[in-house]
Amino acid sequence: MAPRLGHALLLLGLLCGLLPRVSAHRLEEVLQGALIRIEPDRIHLELDLTPAVATVHRLERDLNPNRDDLISDPEAAAFSRTVAQRLQLRVDGRSIALRRVHEAVPALDALRDGDGVVHLVFEAPLPRLEPGEHRLEWHNGYRPGPSVYLTHAVMPESPEVRIRHQERSRDQRRHRIRFSVSEATTDLRPGTPSSR
């Protein structure tokens, strides 16, 4: 290699090392955002999984086990059930099973291009909660790789439920919600917002 070219390459290499690392967005983690809505007779949980480009392959193992690059409806449903099994939900200390309601899974190409969110919807029916104070605890145990967790309660649709307090673990994998249920009423609040 000509000395000048070699020096240029060496300089370029040094410069690249000195350039600030540009991590303009999430490259190596799956963002898991959960929204929980509490109603007197059920818990509604929506979980959005946004895989970073470098982590799609980890989700693919669960989403497309037959590796045909096409996520079929049964595969999407199976994935949803797999995730549901990793989510632990307790209401007033009792374990409650989450069941899948709906999933929207983009094509693998979209996920690989970084333009895709896997949207999972779960529900857990409850025997109608008695008026009074209650607590919900849930743990997101789904970890396809390094993940960033967010969890939040959304406004209930029922005017009988009032969220009192939320507490999360620092990494937001665990979420505790204190809420109260009042007597059933026909006085419907107008324009009660819903989570979607």
Partner 1 sequence: MLWRFRICGPKLHLNAPMNSTTTSLLLLCAGLAWLPSTLGPAYAAETPAATAAAANARAVTAARAFLDTLDAPMRQAAVFAFRDEAQRQRWSNLPSGLYARKGLRLGDLKAPQRKAAMDLLAAALSPEGYQKVVGILEGDETLRGGGPGGRLIFGRDEYFVSFLGQPSTTEPWSLQFGGHHLALNLTWVGDRGTLAPSHTATQPARFTLDGKTVRPLGKETDLGFELINALDESARKKAILGAQFRDLVLGPGQEYRTLVPEGVPASSLTEPQQKLLLDLIHQWVGILPEAAAAARMAEIRATLNDTWFAWSGPTRPGSAAYFRIQGPAVFIELAPQNLGGDPTQHLHTIYRDPANEYGRKWWKP
Site residues (vs partner 1, CB under 8 A): 19-28, 31, 33, 35, 48, 53, 113-115, 117, 148, 150, 152-155, 163, 166-172, 193, 195-196
Taking the complex as a whole, how short is the minimal distance between the CB of residue 187 and partner 1, in angstroms? 20
Strands 118-125 and 161-168: unpaired
Taking the complex as a whole, how short is the minimal distance between the CB of residue 151 and partner 1, in angstroms? 8
Q: What is the largest CA-CA distance in the chain?
A: 86
Residues 6+ apart with CB under 8 A from 113: 53
Comparison of 31 and 96: residue with beta carbon closer to partner 1: 31
Comparison of 111 and 127: residue with beta carbon closer to partner 1: 111
Comparison of 29 and 81: residue with beta carbon closer to partner 1: 29
6 contacts 124 by C-beta, under 8 angstroms: no
126 contacts 147 by C-beta, under 8 angstroms: no
Taking the complex as a whole, how short is the minimal distance between the CB of residue 32 and partner 1, in angstroms? 10
Give, rounded to a whole angstrom, the gap between the first and last alpha carbons of the chain. 62
Place of tokens 């507490």: 167
Q: Which tokens hold the place of 193?
A: 């917002």
Comparison of 3 and 191: residue with beta carbon closer to partner 1: 191
Comparison of 65 and 193: residue with beta carbon closer to partner 1: 193
Taking the complex as a whole, how short is the minimal distance between the CB of residue 113 and partner 1, in angstroms? 7
Q: In one letter, which amino acid is 190?
A: P
Taking the complex as a whole, how short is the minimal distance between the CB of residue 125 and partner 1, in angstroms? 22
